Amino acid sequence: MVHKMSLASLAIAASVAGLALLPAAASAAPVAPAVRPVSPHTAPAFNASGSYTLFQSNGVNATVNVTQDSLGKLYGSATTGRAAGTIESGASVDGTSIQFTIAWTNGPHGRYTGSLGADRRLSGFTFDLGHPESQATWATTQTF
């Protein structure tokens, strides 16, 4: 009986040791990260602060008064010949890119995206969030 117990103990020990010798990577399935990595924020490559005009291809030019903080967040107001507006939260400069939404007092919410060109001027694309078919390109003459 002692001999049978010793064999049983040896068999268990060999089984446990055998499992421990298997490479963990070969026996384990890859694990996806629990949280999707956040894309890194790029430091602002320019300061968009100031008062300047966005010349739009649809003829409705907007003058903006912008303040930019050290993280690239934008705050401010805008006017056209027909309406006034406020730059909504979430506006920012990220590297050489700029994006903001203006909530106009006459109803539309204009989404503006653009970038700093080699000539140090801003240019981009805008559309009305409520009527995406209403679109225009825009550019500044001011350099940054």
Task: Tell me if residue 22 falls in helix, strand or coil.
Answer: coil
Distance between CA atoms of residues 72 and 66, nearest Å: 11
pLDDT on residue 34: 54
pLDDT at 143 over 70: yes
Beta bridge partners of 122: 116
pLDDT at 12 over 50: no
Task: Tell me if residue 106 falls in helix, strand or coil.
Answer: coil
- Predicted confidence (pLDDT) per residue in 63-108, tens digit: 999 999 999 999 999 999 899 999 999 999 999 999 999 999 999 9
pLDDT on residue 13: 43
- Residue of 82, 84, 86 whose CA lies nearest to 66: 86
Please give the residue that has the higher pLDDT: either 119 or 24. 119
φ, ψ of residue 9 to 5 degrees: the values are -65, -40
Beta bridge partners of 98: 93, 114
Q: What is the mean pLDDT of the chain?
A: 83
Q: Which domains does the chain have, with CATH numbers?
A: 50-143 (2.40.160.90)
Structure confidence at residue 15 as a pLDDT band (50, 70, 90):
very low
Give this prediction's pTM.
Answer: 0.72
* CB distance 135 to 125 below 8 Å: yes
* CB distance 122 to 132 below 8 Å: no
